Amino acid sequence: MKVLQDRSLAPFHTFGIDVKAKQIVEAETADELASIWQSKCYQTVPKLIVGQGSNLLFCEEYSGLIVLNRIKGIDITETESSFHLHIGAGEDWHQLVKMTVEQGMPGLENLALIPGCVGSSPIQNIGAYGVELKDVCQYVDIIELETGLRQRLNADECEFGYRDSIFKHQLKNSHAIIAVGIELTKAWRPNTSYGPLAKFDPNTATASNIFDEVCSIRRSKLPDPALMGNAGSFFKNPIISAEQASRLISQYPTIPVYSQPNGKMKVAAGWLIDQCRLKGFQVGGARVHDQQALVLVNYHRASPGDIIALALHVIQTVESAFAITLEHEVRFMSSSDEILITELAQ
């Protein structure tokens, strides 16, 4: 394994910010991953697994070892009722979606064009256009990094929630995801529940129709990280009580709110930020995206400090206007560990 020393992380995360890491290495197998964690020379060094860095903000130079997950391989088996896919954690998510749609295995089309690795998809239970990973995930294979012990979690054990799972909590840092099992039922029906997809007739729409439409909507709203650095939605859509939601609805009848299974309501954070007229607002090289207020972009050579200052301004402005505190979806990394913006603001 070739270890890169003192390299810029710019090509390894979608914000494209020029911060350095002390060391960077690729792991192509689960055994290679475990051997890094068990190696004496890295024992006291901070270590971070990175897929495509599309949900990460490096707040400063990373003082340890970045381990790029490059575990490949896709196995497909078929039963009378389903296709079963066993996918190496380092495979590209969008390429997987494209391949399944092209090969007549529908079910992932609503999740097209989400950047990142397959192995990262269960971590925040990726979701878009009415579908979440939990709807198709059968199991997640993990490895305990200190011991090399492998384990298979079924979907229930992953504790999937909105942008959440066990991998952000109990299993964070101690385990790595090495493969994901996906089941695609042959009794497929298109999911046209999300606003812009409602124009399709569910009786005639094909997976290709949905795939093409999702790609086209996403390209019109979301900045391409290859052209303008970003990490998708910077904040989560806040979940508030039904009482607070009805107060907001009476004050702002057009506010987009969505019912949650627990009786609570989800509010569109992009709408809240947009109402505060923050689209195009800039701190240094960081900017609130002009087409989608929920996305903060590296507009021109932004520093981590620019993005953090902009995020704090957005949080404070929305809080003053709506008494709602936004939480960041993007994972912040300090020089050695994950950190929250609230800790940085202290």
Name the one range near ligand FAD by CB under 6 A: 149-157, 225-233, 267-275, 317-325: 225-233
Minimum distance from residue 235 beta carbon to ligand EPU (Å): 6
Q: Is 56 in the site for ligand FAD (CB under 6 A)?
A: yes
Tell me if residue 64 falls in helix, strand or coil. Answer: strand
Count of CB atoms situated within 10 Å of the CB of 138: 16
Tell which positions 278-337 bind ligand EPU, by CB under 6 A.
292-294, 329
CA 60 to chain CA centroid, Å, is 21
Name the one range near ligand EPU by CB under 6 A: 11-19, 57-65, 168-176, 270-278: 270-278
54, 120, 165, 233: which one is catalytic?
233
Minimum distance from residue 81 beta carbon to ligand FAD (Å): 27
82, 120, 163, 165: which one is catalytic?
163
- Residues 247-275, buried b or exposed e (16+ Cβ, 10 A)? ebeeeeeebebeeeeeeebbbbbbbbbeb
Using CB atoms, what's the residue nearest to ligand FAD? Answer: 51
Nearest residue (CB) to ligand FAD, 27 versus 248: 27
- Residues 155 and 337: their CA atoms lie apart, in Å, by 27
Minimum distance from residue 150 beta carbon to ligand EPU (Å): 29
Q: Which of 266, 271, 277 is nearest to 317 (CA)?
A: 277
Binder among 230, 298, 303, 317 for ligand FAD (CB under 6 A): 230
3-state secondary structure string across 152-220:
EEEHHHHCCECCECHHHCCCCCCEEEEEEEEEEECCCCCCCCCHHHCCCCCCCCCHHHHHHHHHHHHHH
Give me the 90-109 binding string for ligand FAD, x by CB under 6 A, dash otherwise: --------------------
Residues tagged active-site: 163, 233, 329
The residue ranges that bind ligand EPU (CB under 6 A) are 128-129, 194, 221, 232-233, 236-237, 256, 268, 270-271, 274, 292-294, 329
